[in-house]
Amino acid sequence: MRIITINKNDAGQRLDKFLTKAVKGLPTSMMYKLIRTKKIKVNRKRTEQKYILVEGDEIQLFIKEEFFESPEKDMGALERIVPKLNILYEDENIMLLNKRPGVLVHEDSEAGENTLIMHVKAYLCQKGEYDPYTEQSFAPALCNRIDRNTGGIVIAAKNAEALRIMNEKIKNDELTKTYLCLVHGVPKRASAELRGYLRKDSKNNTVEVRDNEFPGAKQIITRYRVLESYGDSALLEVDLITGRTHQIRAHMAHIGHALIGDGKYGVNREEKAKGYKYQALYAYKLYFKKTDKDDLLSYLEGKTFSLDTDEIWFLKEH
């Protein structure tokens, strides 16, 4: 028999969700059977798969030791990596990071260890705030994503409660992200709220935008304001009322003002020669809306975090 004691970062989640992370060698179908047949108990009592774990709970597992075998956590990688992070803000619960264009947020076969999340884990591990050996089901995580070739503010959660609350805030539209972008030409209207419909093509990793509704499309609303014009280009501040894949890039291209450096929704051969390796788009400001909630992250409400303009690569070109 094995006993797992629930710690603070494990609490608040369903028993079955916890077990899939804590006992990786246990097949899901077998786990449910073991719960039904009382081979898995909580506090020595029969339980259900949907039971919400509480700090201090003890899970008794009457199962073979082989199920506890799982790939070793690569502590060596976290100690070996020299963290390269541009930290805008940090406290005991979250980090706000300035992700540079070209940096991948999550692991893939191409990027290997050189991803934003691996550098976050290495940074917290080396600070003594994260130990992959003692954590049973939690690892520091990113709460939002930004395309590889786009820069901007990314939120990282340092504990399970902060991750849960931040995900809820994002889901409930309690955060506002504001972008800066450089576009070809100068829009006729100094500011506007654009409405249209967007359909995603997952196979080709592109989207299509039209003015009118069409099969498989979702409505999009993009609000922009011209900050400066440069004759053949303009600097815009953009708010996403809806947040769809490639929304800003595709919507601006749809109205005839593709982003400078964007080869997917515009033509950027000449721009590459001028040094524009990425689309000129940056998520530079983050605002936490005020709510009536009282939770771990309430102290962030009403606060705005923004990057200095010298942190945004394409503004240096103008």
Residues 247 and 271 in one domain: yes
What's the predicted TM-score (pTM) here?
0.86
Residues 186 and 166 in one domain: no
Residues 58 and 29 in one domain: yes
Q: What is the pLDDT of residue 73?
A: 52
- Write out pLDDT tens, residues 92-121: 999 999 999 999 998 765 556 789 999 999
pLDDT class of 72 with cuts at 50, 70, 90: very low
One-letter-per-residue 3-state SS of the chain:
CEEEECCCCCCCCEHHHHHHHHCCCCCHHHHHHHHHCCCEEECCECCCCCCECCCCCEEEECCCHHHHCCCCCCHHHHHHCCCCCCEEEECCCEEEEEECCCCECCCCCCCCCCEHHHHHHHHHHHHCCCCCCCCCCCCCEECCCCCCCCEEEEEEECCHHHHHHHHHHHHCCCEEEEEEEEEECCCCCCEEEEEEEEEEECCCCEEEEECCCCCCCEEEEEEEEEEEECCCEEEEEEEECCCCCCHHHHHHHHCCCCECCCCCCCCCHHHHHCCCCCCCEEEEEEEECCCCCCCCCHHHCCCEEECCHHHCHHHHHC
Q: Which CATH number belongs to the domain containing residue 36 in this structure? A: 3.10.290.10
The residue from 122, 150, 170 where one domain ends is 170
- Write out pLDDT tens, residues 160-214: 999 999 999 999 999 999 999 999 999 999 999 999 999 999 999 999 999 999 9
Supply the range of the domain harboring residue 225.
176-317
Residues 248 and 287 in one domain: yes
The residue from 52, 68, 84 where one domain ends is 68
Residues 107 and 157 in one domain: yes
Residues 157 and 227 in one domain: no
Residues 150 and 26 in one domain: no
The pLDDT mean for the chain works out to 92
Q: What domain count does the chain have?
A: 3
Residues 45 and 122 in one domain: no
Residues above pLDDT 90, as percent of the chain: 78
The residue from 23, 48, 68 where one domain ends is 68
